[in-house]
């Protein structure tokens, strides 16, 4: 993996999490990085849903966790997830994107998907503090709206 430093993003950021994490996030007024070096965000609600589609919605598919260990995605239950719309507080720290690296002869479709995945998310090295209570979006409701309104494409 190759990290690239970027400028601090402007405006709101979006972070998906399990519902059970919301109370501690609101209490601490920060998104914690847990076992990773960074905490990860998207710059749009649509981008966040697409990132979820490429990760936690991939029931049974293989992925590698922050320690590099192979895992499989569990069953996806939309009601278990929310997306937080955050206003980051100013603080020192590095913003990064993660550029997915692939071996030579990787099929073009996989390269494009890797590039999309890398551009959907931005990382903050450390715990990200935010202002005010974030807007909380219910993932189940967003997915229902998506199926009812075909113009919303993720």
DSSP the chain: -EEEEEPPPPS-EEEEEEGGGHHHHHHHTEE--TTSSEEEEBSSHHHHHHHHHHTTTSTT-EEE-TTS-EEE-----GGGEEEEEEEEPP----EEEEE----TT--HHHHHHHHHHHHH-EEEESPEEEEEEEEEEEHHHHHHHHHH-TT---
Work out the percent of the chain whose per-residue pLDDT is above 70: 95
Say yes or no to pLDDT of 109 above 90: yes
In a domain, 151, yes or no: no
**CA dihedral (128, 132, 134, 135) positive or negative:** negative
Query: What predicted TM-score, i.e. pTM, was given to this entire model?
Result: 0.88
- Whole-angstrom distance, CA of residue 146 vs CA of residue 29: 30
Average pLDDT over residues 23-30: 93
In a domain, 16, yes or no: yes
Say yes or no to pLDDT of 36 above 90: no
Q: So what's the pLDDT on residue 1?
A: 58
In a domain, 152, yes or no: no
Domain count, the chain: 1
Range of the domain at 39: 2-146
| Lowest-confidence segment of 25-34, 63-72, 87-96, 144-153 by average pLDDT | 144-153
Say yes or no to pLDDT of 25 above 70: yes
In a domain, 33, yes or no: yes
Work out the percent of the chain whose per-residue pLDDT is above 90: 68
Average pLDDT over residues 26-33: 91
* Mean pLDDT computed over every residue of the chain: 90
The C-alpha torsion from 34 through 62 and 103 to 111, rounded to 10°, is -90
> What's the distance, Cα to Cα, between the start and end of the chain in Å?
25
In a domain, 153, yes or no: no
Q: If pLDDT is split at 50, 70 and 90, which confidence band does 149 have?
A: low
43 vs 100, which has greater pLDDT? 43
Q: So what's the pLDDT on residue 150?
A: 58
140 vs 151, which has greater pLDDT? 140
Q: State the CB neighbour count (10 A cutoff) for residue 25.
A: 19
Cα-flanking dihedrals φ and ψ of residue 113, to 5°? -65, -40
Whose tokens are 């995605």? That residue is 73
């Amino acid at each position: 993996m190759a990290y690239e430093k970027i400028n601090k993003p402007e405006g709101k950021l979006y972070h998906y999490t399990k519902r059970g994490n919301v109370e501690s996030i609101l209490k601490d007024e920060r998104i914690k990085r847990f076992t990773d070096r960074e905490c990860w965000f998207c710059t749009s609600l649509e981008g966040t849903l697409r990132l979820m589609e490429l990760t936690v919605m991939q029931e049974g598919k293989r992925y590698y966790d922050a320690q590099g260990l192979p895992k499989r995605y569990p069953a996806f239950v939309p009601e278990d997830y929310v997306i937080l719309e955050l206003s980051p507080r100013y603080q020192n720290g590095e913003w990064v994107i993660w550029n997915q690296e692939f071996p030579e002869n990787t099929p073009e479709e996989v390269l494009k998907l890797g590039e999309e995945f890398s551009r959907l998310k931005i990382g903050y090295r450390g715990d990200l503090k935010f202002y005010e209570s974030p807007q909380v979006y219910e993932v189940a409701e967003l997915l229902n709206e998506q199926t009812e309104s075909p113009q919303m494409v993720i």
